[in-house]
Amino acid sequence: MAYRGTAYHGFQRQENAVGIQNVLEEKLSALTNSAVKLNGCSRTDAGVHAREYCFSFETEHTIPCANIVRGINSLLPDDLAVLSCEEAPADFHARYSCKGKEYLYLILNRREKDPFLADMALHYPYELDTELLARAAQDFVGRHDFTSFCGTANQKSDSFRTIEYFRIEKSENLVKLLVKGDGFLYNMVRIMVGTLIFINEDKLSADSVPRILAARDRNLAGKTVPAHGLYLNKVYY
């Protein structure tokens, strides 16, 4: 599926707010005439978007996959869309069967705001040295302890993750930061991007990432950039 996360408090089901999972389960339950509980491939924060998100659920209903796609899309609001559906083995789990994810962080890099990207990209009105950032981003590649790049409210005992690539692409005024890994800690991508922005602003040196990784101290890394520039871009199984 794909979704615009602006109006939701993340993907995960919420008791006192609306998560995307709340809406999906309600509509799938109505479509199949049975209670549906689904498993998502990832938790995303409030305001984060997805160009590709996978979830799984079990049902005894015999409705064909193509009809599930058509039926659920007729019930969903315009900011949520199911793109495809297929039967999976009984042991498939959208989260635990996932082998990797690619995230995109989108920056509008020009002085003027764009009202059409207000909640879809970070507006950064200052000069952005993408070549400098591309070089610094390579220090994230490989297997590292990312404690320094994890929101302190949700640190995990196992904070090692493997980053396959971290690419930076620029097309006119849009800068895309693409990072693929086998998993990500809470706020990890947003802190990595914030650290690169601090490097761009000379608040951190261009070679500071290895030192920050080794220190295992969140206070040494850059800021956590806003959620609205972040997209779950691809999911790998």
45 is catalytic: yes
Residues 6 or more apart from 24 whose CB is under 8 A from it? 1, 38, 55, 72, 76, 80
User: Which residue is associated with the tokens 């799984």?
Assistant: 56
Residue from 45, 78, 158, 217 carrying the catalytic annotation: 45
How distant, in Å, are the alpha carbons of 81, 114, 125, 193, 230 from that of 111? Answer: 33, 10, 4, 20, 20
CA distances from 64 to 2, 32, 86, 194, 236 (A): 21, 11, 9, 44, 24
Instruction: Give the active site residues.
Output: 45
